[in-house]
Amino acid sequence: MLENLDWNNVMVIDIETVPQYSNYDQVPEHMQKLWDIKTRHQRKDETPEEFYKCAGILAEFGKIICLSAGVFTKDNGFRIKSFASHDEASLLHKFADMLRGCSEKLILCGHNAKEFDFPYICRRMLINGIKLPPQLDISCKKPWEICHMDTMEMWKFGDFKNFTSLNLLAAIFGIPTPKDDIDGSMVAEVYWLNNELDRICTYCQKDVVTTAQLLKRFKGEELIGEDQVTIAER
């Protein structure tokens, strides 16, 4: 599996998202109405106010607060650069500029990224008036021209009913993961109530490393050593 994959041409990414507002009462009235309509069939027994804690999963009502990107280096190393900010437009501009300095054939990879990360990034870039870099602009491209990989999709092997979390795959492949003090369901609270962006950034970087390790396992290669992971300054 992945025999022909060139590590030098792969970038692993992950994003952390939150609702655009700290609580439902701050949402503009016209957007409250649109939120109610959009989530009508998802809320079950919850009110629109109660369900607003989940607004971060929808690009129309959420925003990106951290985007971490990792690339493979020589000697089985891995280097991560994170873009984290309260100003979403700023971090997306910086990420887009970085991609424009890379090959258009760069392969972007993430876990469940085709369903979530890639489209979310594209939607938020357009909302913020940012031109999509070529690696993300897939309009009018043929399927084989799109350089995106998704470790969850790869694990499905065509089984469209299957959803497997990154944590579960890490466990069954023996990939060591540091114990996190937060999980994805806590990001909005940690951001809006505790204002701990650095803590969220660390969590995001760990997921990027785990996804990179999973790729290594898929290809049957040794894992990246803990001392071989470097974090670039933000």
DSSP assignment letter at 9? G
The answer, yes or no, to whether residue 62 has pLDDT greater than 90, is yes
Convert the pLDDT of each residue in 172-228 to its tens digit: 999 988 666 788 888 999 999 999 999 999 999 999 999 999 999 999 999 999 999
Beta-carbon contacts of residue 221 (< 8 Å; ≥ 6 apart): none
pLDDT for 177: 80
pLDDT confidence of residue 77: 95
What three-state secondary structure class fits 131? coil
Largest Cα span, the chain:
55
- In SS3 terms, 60-73 reads as CCEEEEEEEEEEEE
- Domain chopping of the chain, boundaries: 7-20+61-231
Alpha carbon distance 194, 192 (integer Å)? 6
pLDDT of residue 205: 95
Instruction: State the pTM of this model.
Output: 0.95
Are 107 and 114 within 8 A, CB to CB?
no
Report the pLDDT averaged over residues 21-26: 96
User: Looking at residues 160-169, what average pLDDT do you find?
Assistant: 88
Tokens 């290594």 appear where? 216
Residues forming beta bridges with residue 149, ordered by sequence position: 109
Give φ, ψ of 69 to 5 degrees.
Answer: -130, 135
Q: How confident is the model at residue 75 (pLDDT cuts 50, 70, 90)?
A: confident
CATH number of 7-20+61-231: 3.30.420.10
Helical packing angle, 118-127 and 88-100, nearest 10°: 110
The band of 137, judged by pLDDT with boundaries at 50, 70 and 90, is: very high
Which helix or strand (DSSP H or E) is residue 12 part of?
strand 10-19
- Which residue type occupies 63? K
- In tens, the pLDDT along 51-61 reads 999 999 999 99
**Does position 31 have pLDDT exceeding 80, yes or no?**
yes
The pLDDT of 31-35, averaged and rounded, is: 97
For residue 179, the model assigns a pLDDT of: 63
